Structure 1
């Protein structure tokens, strides 16, 4: 019976494989009008049976949790048979085109995509280059996301290079292969005249495609990027890539990145490489996106793969996927020697201030911040500071707490590195699936040997973190340098007289000052463009003082009375405890060591 079942299973697998081999999908990309920001897409399909085919375009890009409605950029959709017979087609929903195939054996679909949005997650084309973010370019046949696909790229006449993580198809110029659409959608393509250089790190060949000019030093980048990659590979013990591509877009002022399976897209400021802070910022971005090779692209929450490209994919664990990655990007730079201990502690302090000085930290729990990323993280408004917290910043701090607690509980034998490696080994390498929140918590407690219920309160509740409970374990303490001082707060952020935001609980909040109000005068004195007059008034005032405020709201003059509240903003410092035990000193050395164990 068992033998018969195995034979049946093998027969079914063979049948599926043959069917996949008979079905074929290929694309041909060209650029007839790059100056007008268009991509021409030709899609050929054969071996599909039925009276119609539904072609779908994703509405979001994995790694960027917002419905971006990519189909809005598609136009001139048409379909024909192999003998040029026009086939009827129409849209049946916002991202699905139905083609009436009439059982034709081969179908050719043509459409254009308008691409003119500068970001790491959206396509951009002009007369100098083309960046193709695949989820906004390629359609798939509904129900056949696992179908292999080829892509031929026809560069514009003056372009000479193509950079992508996709495999090259031998003996087919400028043609690339993806084993399925998940891989295709995770493989951005850069076409133009980018400056390309390579280096080896962790046994993997890495290609860097520099798009646009910049004052970068190739040899310095090769050395420093390789060092980051080596240290990150040490965390997990294995680098799963055979080849990796960095696509770097250099702008007058640029930033941000988006991770992919064996590539990443980075935004950079073209003349910032010779500035020390700018250079370290770029290396931090490299460290962040490359750490995603393991954390999120392979080790992932269960909701993040296989993807549903038609709607939101909800998870409460982006604080692990993005927050821990944000913790490691600075920690890796510390380990690699780019930051001394003092500089690294200042970075941690800045993260703490960013979280604790934000009113939204006491409104939105961290787990909900992750779940609501689709409607809040990428859609900030004037009230976001009062209603939400970032799973990047606070997630990084939770990573620090778990690291410190684990080091203390195991007397320095284990830390967050061991937790991440254990998770990677179990859920990616052994089980080949995503993890649940409960499974993550269980693994932390298994490695640390203690409960982390205390830390999970900071994940699931909107409450201030008692950092010193954890920092004291390594002989450090967090102090508020403004502790005990009563500093009056007006409570708004101004830009050329205009109110841009109002702080929850401040005097301005209680007085009813609105965003978009024009602040004209306070206590009879005209407010200048840069707000120095308001600073002078506050310097001479005390908490509880009443101010007479004149604003213009939609052209109507309003007079308001504002009672100055006490500022709840903190100015933090991480410093050594006055008395440090040998045990604390040892754990601190392990935590902040330049060389990991």
Structure 2
């Protein structure tokens, strides 16, 4: 948890190899919070009230942009190579494009859900995987797109935007090291217009992506850096992402099925057990994966399911396509080529400015 002049970190991960890098990602994120969130501080969080909920409209910026920079800093410092950083970018793209919740709720509205989602404890079953997308990953995706647009269209960057926010809202501090001026979402838009020297662009960006539900054009923006968004498994049938196998080998749906999926349309939901799929008993992941490999999207397969009351029924499920994507350099994608100018822009984006 970040504090104004310190951070306390605990982790069960090992301090070597892959665990060390994941721990370093946490350090990078929390360290950036000393700059963004603790000093560049949202109006809804200042002064902080320890007895009541502090609602903020801007956690997509405070947490999401910090998430973006936490990973970007590791690339710029040389702890990640390009491929490792692009894996992080891919996760933000997938989260936004595959989330039903993002179609219904804007980043501003998602931020207001923090009291219910960010380490909050509740025993009530919810449908959040259909109604909610974390402001961490949603904000990181927005930071990515905004950075690329500022670089391509206005020959500036998100770095310059954050520096402008620092000058107005972070640098002026009280003797108690609290910000003398906290920002609003309207301030974030105004400063963007100033940095881009285009208030119409800032207004459009906020209207479409911050107050609205429109999905950013990741492919179009990443292409300016010679990067392509390609399917992980082209024309492959998607595995149900909500299933787990218990100790007895029962295939249980542990989360709500997502809107638009074949299971959702067939009325199968959390707590149900998939007993057979395409006539085969499902008691381990290998069997499930093997069946899915035999099929393609739009195939109709018979499923036998048992609900929490023990009632069994047979349904027909239309398989949907695996929509997961990955971000790669165009030079590594068949029939694509990254130009010298695109590679130069990519290098400038990922390079450290430290002297």
Structure 1 residues 284 and 490: alpha-carbon distance in aligned structure 2, compared to 1, 3 A threshold: closer
Structure 1 residues 480 and 464: alpha-carbon distance in aligned structure 2, compared to 1, 3 A threshold: farther
Unaligned runs of 5+ in 2: 173-178
Partner of 2:4 in structure 1?
Answer: 261
Write out aligned runs for 1:477-516 (5 A).
Answer: 477-482=228-233, 485=235, 487=237, 492-496=242-246, 497=250, 498-501=252-255, 502-516=257-271
Shift of 1:568: 5.0
Partner of 2:16 in structure 1?
Answer: 274
Q: Distance in 1 between matches of 2:85 and 2:316?
A: 40
Tell whether 2:283 aligns with 1:521.
no
Tell whether 2:58 aligns with 1:317.
yes
Shift of 1:454: 4.5
Tell whether 2:158 aligns with 1:416.
yes
Deviations 1:154-192 (A, max 9, x none): xxxxxxxxxxxxxxxxxxxxxxxxxxxxxxxxxxxxxxx
Partner of 1:290 in structure 2?
Answer: 31
Superposition TM-score, scaled by structure 2 size = 0.85
Asked whether the equivalents of residues 382 and 515 of structure 1 are also in contact (C-alpha less than 8 Å), the reply is no
Q: Distance in 2 between matches of 1:467 and 1:488?
A: 22
Partner of 1:51 in structure 2?
Answer: none
Partner of 1:361 in structure 2?
Answer: 102
Partner of 1:332 in structure 2?
Answer: 73
Q: Distance in 2 between matches of 1:273 and 1:491?
A: 30
Asked whether the equivalents of residues 352 and 397 of structure 1 are also in contact (C-alpha less than 8 Å), the reply is yes
Q: Distance in 1 between matches of 2:64 and 2:271?
A: 33
Asked whether the equivalents of residues 489 and 564 of structure 1 are also in contact (C-alpha less than 8 Å), the reply is no
Deviations 1:195-224 (A, max 9, x none): xxxxxxxxxxxxxxxxxxxxxxxxxxxxxx
Structure 1 or 2: more strand by fraction: 1
Shift of 1:261: 1.1
Asked whether the equivalents of residues 490 and 564 of structure 1 are also in contact (C-alpha less than 8 Å), the reply is no
Q: Distance in 2 between matches of 1:263 and 1:546?
A: 55
Tell whether 2:186 aligns with 1:442.
no
Shift of 1:387: 1.3
Matched position secondary structure for 2:112: helix
Structure 1 residues 422 and 477: alpha-carbon distance in aligned structure 2, compared to 1, 3 A threshold: same
Tell whether 2:152 aligns with 1:398.
no
Shift of 1:583: 4.1
Shift of 1:280: 0.9
Asked whether the equivalents of residues 303 and 317 of structure 2 are also in contact (C-alpha less than 8 Å), the reply is no
Counterpart of 2:321 (choices 545, 567, 572) is 567
Relative contact order, CA 8 A, sep 6+: which one is greater?
2
Write out aligned runs for 1:156-195 (5 A).
Answer: none
Shift of 1:399: 1.0
Deviations 1:21-64 (A, max 9, x none): xxxxxxxxxxxxxxxxxxxxxxxxxxxxxxxxxxxxxxxxxxxx
Asked whether the equivalents of residues 291 and 329 of structure 1 are also in contact (C-alpha less than 8 Å), the reply is yes
Q: Distance in 2 between matches of 1:343 and 1:523?
A: 37
Shift of 1:513: 1.8
Asked whether the equivalents of residues 101 and 133 of structure 2 are also in contact (C-alpha less than 8 Å), the reply is yes
Matched position secondary structure for 2:8: strand
Deviations 1:371-427 (A, max 9, x none): 12112344585632211111101101111122112222343xx32122112111112
Partner of 1:246 in structure 2?
Answer: none
Structure 1 residues 586 and 552: alpha-carbon distance in aligned structure 2, compared to 1, 3 A threshold: closer
Query: Bigger radius of gyration, 1 or 2?
Result: 1
Tell whether 2:291 aligns with 1:537.
yes
Asked whether the equivalents of residues 489 and 506 of structure 1 are also in contact (C-alpha less than 8 Å), the reply is no
Shift of 1:434: 0.6
Counterpart of 1:589 (choices 333, 337, 347) is 347
Asked whether the equivalents of residues 476 and 576 of structure 1 are also in contact (C-alpha less than 8 Å), the reply is yes
Q: Distance in 2 between matches of 1:540 and 1:469?
A: 33
Structure 1 residues 332 and 532: alpha-carbon distance in aligned structure 2, compared to 1, 3 A threshold: same
Q: Distance in 1 between matches of 2:261 and 2:100?
A: 11
Q: Distance in 2 between matches of 1:262 and 1:308?
A: 18
Deviations 1:283-339 (A, max 9, x none): 111111111111111111111111233322222110110011101111111111111
Partner of 1:429 in structure 2?
Answer: 171
Asked whether the equivalents of residues 520 and 526 of structure 1 are also in contact (C-alpha less than 8 Å), the reply is yes
Deviations 1:56-107 (A, max 9, x none): xxxxxxxxxxxxxxxxxxxxxxxxxxxxxxxxxxxxxxxxxxxxxxxxxxxx
Asked whether the equivalents of residues 491 and 509 of structure 1 are also in contact (C-alpha less than 8 Å), the reply is no
Shift of 1:495: 2.9
Superposition TM-score, scaled by structure 1 size = 0.52
Asked whether the equivalents of residues 299 and 424 of structure 1 are also in contact (C-alpha less than 8 Å), the reply is yes
Deviations 1:429-449 (A, max 9, x none): 348111111111111121122
